[in-house]
Structure 1
């Protein structure tokens, strides 16, 4: 289950899937990201995930009102991976906190591959 917010008129439930989609969209907006990779890479081959399934490249854990996010990305060849990872961390943390009102404790970046960009 995700985050439950209770007010005078009822409950609002924000699912982990919604948080994962927000994180995936935020990551894809960052420079140097070619795509998202599946969390379960078989045989060492990183598969690009389409825009309709971005949450498959994101893992969300919620504990004590804090969110921990793991993102699996593929970066473009010739880019500085550490800078891209830091930018993705900041963008994802900001976006998820702004949209959900929850605290993002950790954002972990897993670079699953490098692709040549046309």
Structure 2
């Protein structure tokens, strides 16, 4: 199990990176302008990930007891990418830090594509 751990006065707590990624992905999907998580497949094509494989679009790393999250997202056509990114960063930072108790050092956003929403 590759996870993030912290020590408290009562013992050690280890949170699997997959759990952090799943939670962060769920929070990200609630943000306005995010269509979904994307993953690059063969030939440079971008695939929209289904909600059950959302963690493939998120990388979680822990360095010096601080988290770094990399999001590969697909945004809605016609929205401001800067506004969507700012919203994503603030929501994810607040909710993931509250959920895990681990400080987030950095959130990187990679826009993999744009989709028209019906």
Q: Is the pair's TM-score, using the shorter chain for normalization, greater than 0.5?
A: yes
The alignment's C-alpha RMSD in Å is 1.4
Are 1:23 and 2:30 matched, yes or no? no
Q: Could you tell me which residue of structure 2 aligns to residue 79 of structure 1?
A: 79
Unaligned runs of 5+ in 2: none
d(CA) in 1 for partners of 2:90 and 2:42?
Answer: 29
CA offsets per residue over residues 50-82 of structure 1, 9 Å max, x none? 111111110011011000000000001111111
Unaligned runs of 5+ in 1: none
d(CA) in 1 for partners of 2:32 and 2:75?
Answer: 9
Check 1:45–1:70 CA distance in 2 against 1; reply closer, same or farther (3 A cut).
same
Q: Secondary structure at the match of 1:111?
A: strand
Are 1:115 and 2:115 matched, yes or no? yes
Check 1:98–1:37 CA distance in 2 against 1; reply closer, same or farther (3 A cut).
same
Q: Could you tell me which residue of structure 1 aligns to residue 104 of structure 2?
A: 104
Q: Secondary structure at the match of 1:31?
A: coil
Aligned pairs (5 A) from 1:34-113? 34-38=35-39, 40-113=40-113
Q: What TM-score does the superposition give when structure 2 sets the normalisation length?
A: 0.91
Q: Secondary structure at the match of 1:43?
A: helix
